[in-house]
Chains A and B, each alone.
Chain A
Amino acid sequence: MAGTTHIPLTARGLHKSYGATRAVVAADLELRPGSIVGMVGENGSGKSTLVKLLSGVTRPDGGEIAVGGSTVAGFRDPAAAAAAGIGTVFQEILVAPARSVYENVVLGADGLVRRRESDDARRGRVAATLRSLAGRELDLDAPVETLGIAERQLVTIARALIREPRVLVLDESTSSLDVADRDRLFACCRRLRDEGLALLFITHRLEELLSLADRIVVIRDGETVEPPAGGVTREGILRAMTRAGAAAAAAAPRERHEARPGRPLLCADGVTLGSGRPIDLTLESGRIVGLAGLEGHGQERFLQVLAGADRPDGGRVVRIGDERETPIESLRAAAKHGVVYLPRDRGRAGILPALPVLDNFALPTLARSRRLGLLSVRSMARRLDAARDALHIRNAGARTPITNLSGGNQQKVLIARWLAAEPAVLLLDDPTRGVDLPTKADLHALLRRQAREGVAVALVSTELEELESVCDSVLVFHDHGIAARLDGAEVTRDAILEAMFGRRA
């Protein structure tokens, strides 16, 4: 594009809250032409929300974005951001699977009636862009659903490039690419930088950051921070991400049961996830095991495999009972043998939003409230009362709609639901996500109490403090395998973070 003036993007004081959760608190960002800014942050630090603000998917609560010579308080929709010259490749691989490669690449580039460019002319550009990304010809007419995951990701990258943006935002865009694809993408990024584009490159991988970025910005608890000058090293970046010990000191002291032997209750035997190395794990009574890792490195799927909700690509999961061992191959089998699983997404997979608290609590254990073959509401209510006291569930009358409760109290009702089944093994996926601090403390105390009473607990958590303060041991996942097993006193924020970012054990 001859004669295009490249104007940098500046964001000042962007903030955005979802209910009580402050996702982005104060984001300042300056993207200069001909420069790649690398951004890194923990899970939940606000990276993805910042991307949504820059791309027009959501509007900020405040702050401003200056781009292309004008200043706006956020974009109305993604089309507006694209019109301002911002191209975004999202973390999720967003495609229309039944449509062709070509249609997916040019998706959204036209008006409703008019084409901006004839298809004939554009096909050549699309083919050339994909060639430079994939290193070979892709069939433009193939439906995207016939492509592998890496090629789909390349299609989404091509979608951003084909519109010749002045600012390019890449959010975790290498997650599904192999090394060769990634190198080609990096070469492409450097070429675009040399042509004068401003790039924002967001990644979990420090090596990528250090090799590609001209400048590094750390995002922590929704705020952007620059690492200390001269601190652009692995250690400097990691320290900037964790707020150096301040939080660790604040974590409540606790007793650990380091050597107490437990009874084995659930055992993963050579379980493999995709291309990862086999995983062995035994959950023992009285112990809490944390599963940590960056988003998408296998810890969540491993928990689902333990729960029978997903089948492993190799190996097996066995419930060790008093008399015999039972393979766990379905959620049903798991539930039957005292293994309960709390999925992450409360709204979609957990609560029944149309029903009151009582039904939400009692649904899986209705059989316990049967009298003469019929359901006794009184017995259900009695059981709910007991659970409510034990868990400090607030403002929850039996008839209260569950959606009137705060997120934390909803979560408590869900946990009470499964505790009512008197499980032997409790599997929780991020149980305190989006929960306020006092409730979080309640839930942690509850988990410890359950462990003391002989339950085996495994939880996936994205919060380092939580892993550090609640778990007896922590498995850190990387690339669908275990990068580190930390036990007792080894369980520290720094050790977990270090392993998450790819220190091989």
Chain B
Amino acid sequence: MSAVAKRPARLALATRIEARVPWAWHRYRYAALAYGLLVVLLAVNVALSERFFTEAVLVPLIAGAAPLVILTIASTVPMIAGNGGIDISVGPLAGLVNVVLVVGLAGESSSPAVVLPVALGMGLVSGAVIGFLVAYVRLAPIVVTLGAYLIYAALAQVIFADRGGTAPEWLTHLGDKVGPVPGGFVSIAIVLAAWLVLSRTPFYRYLFAVGDGEVAAYTAGVPVALVRAAAYAIAGVFAAVAGLALTGLIAAADPKIGPTLTLTAIAGAALGGTSLAGGRGGVLGALAGGACVYLIQNALSLMGIDSYWVTFSFGAILVLGIALNGLVTGGVKRRGIA
């Protein structure tokens, strides 16, 4: 019963200027930087590649971006719920789903009726267990999900054990085209559609309120722990969808890819304007943030720059991006005594 603002918070310049602008800007400005950067990066990629606007370039590009973009969205959800919420296990979980589908489910013969429940079920169970440990047992999210990260990465290696296998044929469309639509769009659209449905429920509002004002939410009767646990469960299901997209993309099993995706996804989420302190941000920002990270990767490889510099640039852009986001969205909160 203490953290009460006795005086109105000092409002940033941006807040004062926009007093006369519709609230839509206020609501979405967190993502402004990510979308600005996205436009710049698209231009750079167009300039770098010949015939950018052709199927041969665009379809693989979008399919390649899909797993990372979906994982960025997945890792955004627990962040919004606040209280140090983060899920770094999403990458290895996607990788584990990939290996289980290709190696475990007898490859080509597996039908959607088996594959989809298994994949989504893995995500749901993983997310629910992590959510329970974080929200009810009150373990630190970074530690719980680091544990899950290591476990999933190891399990993927054990199950893989150099056995090959092929992805179900129907799933490989996600890596190419579904009808006339690039497959990458389809898998991203599935996640966005799910999020759109969620955003029409009270849960969606509670998720942001819990991250933004935990005490206010609790005293108002919001089931805070349940909302937090659900955030991890959703992240798990989305990570499983990313695992499907990954399987469609590489049409094989690869236990090494998953773990590499986690940190880039977290970078994308932060770049997308979601605050690690919770309550601020959103999936629209994550969409752009994830796309940005992928386009940086793509542009640097088009330029033939060494992959070590790709990692370097992630670090630099991440720190810069978060600093700039802070400026756009109202600055660092003033720290006070007592």
The residues of A that contact B223 with a CB separation of less than 8 Å are 77, 79, 112
Q: Indicate whether A111 sits within 8 Å of B219 (C-beta atoms), given known contacts A98-B280, A99-B212, A349-B337.
A: no
Cβ 8 A contact of B338, one of A96, A141, A345 = A345
Cα separation A136 to B223 with both chains bound (whole Å): 33
Cα separation A100 to B24 with both chains bound (whole Å): 11
The residues of A that contact B230 with a CB separation of less than 8 Å are 112
The chain B residue with its CB closest to the CB of A150 is B8
The chain B residue with its CB closest to the CB of A115 is B202
Q: Please state if A296 and B208 are interface contacts (CB–CB under 8 Å).
A: no
Q: Indicate whether A343 sits within 8 Å of B338 (C-beta atoms), given known contacts A96-B209, A97-B212.
A: yes
The residues of A that contact B216 with a CB separation of less than 8 Å are 94-96, 104, 107, 156
A162 CB to closest chain B CB, in angstroms? 11
Cα separation A57 to B215 with both chains bound (whole Å): 10
The residues of B that contact A112 with a CB separation of less than 8 Å are 201-203, 206, 223, 226-227, 230
Cβ 8 A contact of B2, one of A111, A159, A309, A345 = A345
B198 CB to closest chain A CB, in angstroms? 10
- Of A85-93, A259-267, A351-359, the one contacting chain B is A85-93
B24 CB to closest chain A CB, in angstroms? 9
A352 CB to closest chain B CB, in angstroms? 15
Cα separation A185 to B314 with both chains bound (whole Å): 54
B202 CB to closest chain A CB, in angstroms? 4
The residues of B that contact A349 with a CB separation of less than 8 Å are 337-338
Q: Does B163 contact A (CB under 8 A)?
A: no
The residues of A that contact B222 with a CB separation of less than 8 Å are 79, 107-108
Q: Please state if A148 and B202 are interface contacts (CB–CB under 8 Å).
A: no
The residues of A that contact B11 with a CB separation of less than 8 Å are 145-146
The residues of A that contact B209 with a CB separation of less than 8 Å are 96, 99, 103-104, 107
Q: Please state if B202 and A92 are interface contacts (CB–CB under 8 Å).
A: no
Q: Please state if A343 and B337 are interface contacts (CB–CB under 8 Å).
A: yes
Cα separation A83 to B223 with both chains bound (whole Å): 13
The residues of B that contact A108 with a CB separation of less than 8 Å are 206, 217, 220-222
The residues of B that contact A309 with a CB separation of less than 8 Å are 337-338
Cα separation A345 to B6 with both chains bound (whole Å): 16
Cα separation A78 to B212 with both chains bound (whole Å): 18
A110 CB to closest chain B CB, in angstroms? 4
User: Which residues of chain A (477-496) have a CB below 8 Å from chain B?
Assistant: none
Q: Does A43 contact B (CB under 8 A)?
A: no
Total contacts A-B at CB 8 Å = 128
A240 CB to closest chain B CB, in angstroms? 26
**Contact indicator per residue, chain A 42-58, by CB within 8 Å of chain B (1) or not (0):** 00000010000001010
Cβ 8 A contact of A113, one of B1, B4, B201 = B201
**Contact indicator per residue, chain A 67-86, by CB within 8 Å of chain B (1) or not (0):** 00000000001110011000
Q: Indicate whether A310 sits within 8 Å of B337 (C-beta atoms), given known contacts A95-B213, A96-B208, A108-B217.
A: yes
The residues of A that contact B202 with a CB separation of less than 8 Å are 110-115
Q: Please state if B212 and A159 are interface contacts (CB–CB under 8 Å).
A: no
Q: Does B336 contact A (CB under 8 A)?
A: yes
B96 CB to closest chain A CB, in angstroms? 29
Cα separation A95 to B214 with both chains bound (whole Å): 9
Cα separation A143 to B279 with both chains bound (whole Å): 13
Q: Please state if A98 and B212 are interface contacts (CB–CB under 8 Å).
A: yes
Q: Indicate whether A146 sits within 8 Å of B19 (C-beta atoms), given known contacts A98-B212, A113-B203.
A: yes
The chain A residue with its CB closest to the CB of B23 is A141
Q: Does B26 contact A (CB under 8 A)?
A: yes
B241 CB to closest chain A CB, in angstroms? 21
Q: Please state if A96 and B219 are interface contacts (CB–CB under 8 Å).
A: no
Q: Does B218 contact A (CB under 8 A)?
A: yes
Q: Please state if A149 and B5 are interface contacts (CB–CB under 8 Å).
A: yes
Q: Indicate whether A296 sits within 8 Å of B6 (C-beta atoms), given known contacts A112-B201, A113-B201, A349-B338.
A: yes
Q: Please state if A96 and B5 are interface contacts (CB–CB under 8 Å).
A: no
Most buried by B among A108, A114, A296, A345: A108
Cα separation A148 to B8 with both chains bound (whole Å): 6
The residues of A that contact B218 with a CB separation of less than 8 Å are 57, 77-78
Cβ 8 A contact of B23, one of A95, A100, A310, A344 = A100
Q: Does A300 contact B (CB under 8 A)?
A: yes
Cα separation A103 to B1 with both chains bound (whole Å): 22
Q: Does B205 contact A (CB under 8 A)?
A: yes
Q: Does A274 contact B (CB under 8 A)?
A: yes
Cα separation A77 to B9 with both chains bound (whole Å): 30
B22 CB to closest chain A CB, in angstroms? 9
Q: Please state if B221 and A48 are interface contacts (CB–CB under 8 Å).
A: no
The residues of A that contact B280 with a CB separation of less than 8 Å are 98
User: Which residues of chain B (279-338) have a CB below 8 Å from chain A?
Assistant: 279-280, 336-338
The residues of A that contact B227 with a CB separation of less than 8 Å are 112
Cα separation A310 to B338 with both chains bound (whole Å): 10
Q: Please state if A97 and B221 are interface contacts (CB–CB under 8 Å).
A: no
Most buried by A among B23, B209, B221, B336: B221
Cα separation A82 to B220 with both chains bound (whole Å): 8
Q: Please state if A96 and B212 are interface contacts (CB–CB under 8 Å).
A: yes
**Contact indicator per residue, chain A 96-136, by CB within 8 Å of chain B (1) or not (0):** 11111001100111111111000000000000000000000
Cα separation A113 to B15 with both chains bound (whole Å): 33
Cβ 8 A contact of A149, one of B7, B23, B337 = B7
Q: Please state if A142 and B23 are interface contacts (CB–CB under 8 Å).
A: yes
The residues of B that contact A88 with a CB separation of less than 8 Å are 219
Q: Please state if A92 and B220 are interface contacts (CB–CB under 8 Å).
A: no
The residues of A that contact B220 with a CB separation of less than 8 Å are 78, 82, 94, 107-109, 159
**Contact indicator per residue, chain A 142-170, by CB within 8 Å of chain B (1) or not (0):** 11011111000000100100000000000
Cα separation A99 to B208 with both chains bound (whole Å): 8
The residues of B that contact A224 with a CB separation of less than 8 Å are none
- Residues of chain A touching chain B, judged by Cβ–Cβ distance below 8 Å, are 48, 55, 57, 77-79, 82-83, 88, 90-100, 103-104, 107-115, 139, 141-143, 145-149, 156, 159, 274, 296, 300-301, 304, 309-310, 331, 343-345, 348-349, 429
A selection of 23 A-B contacts at a CB cut-off of 8 Å is A57-B218, A77-B221, A77-B223, A92-B215, A94-B4, A96-B217, A98-B212, A99-B213, A103-B205, A107-B216, A107-B217, A108-B206, A108-B217, A146-B26, A149-B7, A156-B216, A159-B220, A300-B338, A310-B337, A331-B337, A343-B338, A345-B338, A349-B338
- Residues of chain B touching chain A, judged by Cβ–Cβ distance below 8 Å, are 1-2, 4-9, 11, 15, 19, 23, 26-27, 201-203, 205-206, 208-209, 212-213, 215-223, 226-227, 230, 279-280, 336-338
Instruction: Kindly list the 9 A-B residue pairs having the minimum CB-CB distance in the complex, ordered from nearest.
Output: A108-B220, A96-B213, A108-B221, A79-B221, A94-B216, A110-B202, A96-B212, A92-B4, A107-B220
